[in-house]
Amino acid sequence: MMAKRTRITAIIAILFIFLTSACTSRGEPLLAHEPVEVEFWHAMSGDLEKTLQELTDEFNAQSAGVQVKLVNQGDYGSLNEKLTAAVKAKQLPTIAQTYFDWTEKFVQADLVERLNDYMAEPQTGWNADELQDIYPVFLNENNWDGTFYSLPFNKSDQVLFYNKTMLDEAGLDVPATWEEWHSAAVKLTKEKPDGKGRIIGTGFENAVMGEAFNYVLQGGGQFYDPQTGLATFNTPEGAAGIGFVRGMLKDGIARLASEDQFMSTPFGRGDVAMYVGSSAGISFVQSAVGGKFEWGTAALPKGKRSVAFIQGTNITMFNGGTTERKQGAWNYMKFLLSTENNARWAEQTGYLPIRKSVSELDSYKQFVQQHPEMSAGPAQLEAEASLARIEHVDIAGPILIEQMEAMLIGDMPVAEGLAAADEAINAKLATASSSR
Amino acid sequence: MLPLPKYFANTLLISVMSTVVGTAMAIGAAFAFTSFAFYGRKLAISLMIFTLFIPPDLMLIPNYITIARFGYIDSYTGIMLPLLLNAFTIFYLLQSFAAIPQEYRLVAQAEGCSPFVYLTRIVIPVTAQPIGALMLLKMIGVWNDYLWPLIITNSAEKRTLAVGLLAFGNEAGTNYQLLMTVSMYVVLPITILYFIMRKHILLALPRTHQFKS
């Protein structure tokens, strides 16, 4: 009996020892001659991660003193959650992919490294030409009153995907204005030739519920008055912008992705003739269509004002690391954003070139010739206005989603929905500013 | 390429270890609650049951901070520690153990059995079915767990199958054909295990008429 008890106690003890000691690998001090390790937390999966890994391997091979370790944190939601947890646990990486509103939160908590000094460094920084080579819309997104707290990385914008076969059969050109878009959608909405279901003229991603900003701007309105600090969604122009989308949905000439999750799926099935979507979705459209019909992309049809609606993340450097580590991270950021590497990134992932000089490279010109669908994204950047960083999006975003659902899916009239949104946002802004 | 064999091995290791160690700990706790009278016993049980009302997602960041302080980030230990015990497991076993008639214990005591021998020789064999069912449920839970293993790990060498499923999409779309294929590999082993162990689950509800003094 005694021997058996001893044996069981020993097994339990061994299990505990295994659990509490055997498996850790972190926390060992670096030897002086070991290269500095820079952790880069990202949310790039599949082919995107493969390309990022290739570029990173090249950087690591040519810079002996610094080794960048890529850490995939799943999707953006998980990355955000992990960063939030890491802030609390004081375990932030050196660099991470971030949206502008995450960066703002980190800046408020004094966790972000200013990049201006790195950029101005004569040896390792950027000269004026190199800085100005970045599209202004991307530079502005990452510039807070003259301070760069992040740099653009995997950027995309909204473009119009169209089924060329369907447009040709209907004798239509790719619509360039809202009027042309509306009438094309009317013409293209019809029963399928095989009688199995209906083709809908236009599609919108489910994310359109969060895009009130975008359509108010396109309608010619402004959603925020910096003078008064108030939300101004409810103007005739703003209402015209949202009303245009609502009208198409209510008339049955447009649909949402709904349970298909993303519009690339119904577009590939031939269930919609056109849709508005992210240029980052091109590869998904390619595989969904699979050669069944001809398709293309174009700049968005213009309402009152053409708008480049910028999406995707930037890279932020956190200020917790050593000087060597942060310098290493800067060198890596500079490497990723060089013209050649940015061109490779754009070609292999479908994200937008960050630098204007990319489009002058022969290799990229050739690439766009072979893949004409890749030209609409950069072309959209030339729009009259851009939408990248949105003031008070943390306050306005949830309210607008609620009102957009009421307007686009429910029966809420546009003017009423926008008035309710303005009222709720301004009330919250007032509370936020008084509590500051 | 995804390191699927590595993910599979990690998932298996974490599931089996958490299930075995977690169940052993839960048996100990439930046995203590049912067999010993000690000060604050009822309060401890109530507090434990109260934790059932805390949504697991709410514990994500506190758990991360705790594990970070232990220095177990990106380790198997870090993944497993919070998965080992939960109130439901102890509560469930507590119910099963409480259904064993007191006479068993009295007879065992009269025969000179220590509490440990009583636990291993009588309580565990008598409640083998609920314990088996519990282990299966725990195994399924840990096998499919996604957010915690993702948050607590940083390297592909420590990640699990469910986390690997993320590789098939981005903000603009999902490669459903690949996602579904790999999902099948995630679901298949645990489904087979379920069919093997099905009768234990069905017979596992604590039933007092099983025990006759």
Q: Which residues of A touch B151 (CB under 8 A)?
A: 78, 81-82, 85
Using a pLDDT cut of 90, give the percent of chain A over it.
Answer: 82
Other CB atoms within a 10 A radius of the CB of residue A35 amount to: 15
Interface with chain A: mutation pick from B117, B170, B176, B178, highest number of A CBs within 10 Å: B170
B205 touching A (Cβ < 8 Å): no
Question: Cβ of A72 and B65 within 8 Å?
Answer: no
Total count of residues recorded for chain B? 213
Other CB atoms within a 10 A radius of the CB of residue B3 amount to: 13
Closest-CA residue of A relative to B59 is: A85
Q: What pLDDT is recorded for position A329?
A: 97
Average pLDDT, integer, range A255-267 = 94
In this structure, are residues B190 and B139 in contact, taking their beta carbons and an 8 Å threshold?
Answer: yes
Question: Cβ of A26 and B150 within 8 Å?
Answer: no
d(C-alpha B15, C-alpha B9), whole Å: 10
Q: Nearest CA to CA, how far is A265 from chain B (Å)? A: 9
User: Which structure tokens are listed for A108?
Assistant: 């408020």
**Is the pLDDT assigned to residue A9 strictly greater than 60?**
no
User: Which structure tokens are listed for A39?
Assistant: 């952790």
Any idea what DSSP says for residue A213? H
pLDDT digits (tens, 9 = 90+) for A106-145: 999 999 999 999 999 999 999 999 999 999 999 999 999 9
Closest in A23, A88, A156 to B75, CB measured? A23
Any idea what DSSP says for residue A221? -
Using a pLDDT cut of 70, give the percent of chain B over it.
Answer: 94
d(C-alpha B117, C-alpha B122), whole Å: 8
pLDDT digits (tens, 9 = 90+) for A198-214: 999 999 999 999 999 99
d(C-alpha A204, C-alpha A215), whole Å: 12
Closest-CA residue of B relative to A351 is: B172
**Is the pLDDT assigned to residue B94 strictly greater than 90?**
yes
Q: Tell me the residue range of the domain where B146 lies.
A: 4-210
Q: What pLDDT is recorded for position A213?
A: 96
Question: Cβ of A280 and B174 within 8 Å?
Answer: no
Q: Indicate the number of domains in chain B.
A: 1
Domains of chain A: 36-156+312-382 (3.40.190.10)
**Is the pLDDT assigned to residue B69 strictly greater than 60?**
yes
Average pLDDT, integer, range B9-32 = 95
B179 touching A (Cβ < 8 Å): no
CATH of the domain at B74: 1.10.3720.10
**Chain pair A-B, CB pairs under 8 angstroms:** 115
User: Which structure tokens are listed for B184?
Assistant: 């099948």
3-state SS string over B76-134? HHHHHHHHHCCHHHHHHHHHHHHCCCHHHHHHHHHCCCCHHHHHHHHHHHHCHHHHHHH
Q: Nearest CA to CA, how far is A88 from chain B (Å)? A: 7
In this structure, are residues A169 and A190 in contact, taking their beta carbons and an 8 Å threshold?
Answer: no
d(C-alpha A223, C-alpha A231), whole Å: 6
Q: What pLDDT is recorded for position A22?
A: 40
**Is the pLDDT assigned to residue A17 strictly greater than 90?**
no
**Is the pLDDT assigned to residue B210 strictly greater than 60?**
no
**Is the pLDDT assigned to residue B76 strictly greater than 50?**
yes
Segment holding A335, helix H or strand E: helix A323-336
B113 touching A (Cβ < 8 Å): no
**Is the pLDDT assigned to residue A290 strictly greater than 60?**
yes
In this structure, are residues A69 and B48 in contact, taking their beta carbons and an 8 Å threshold?
Answer: no
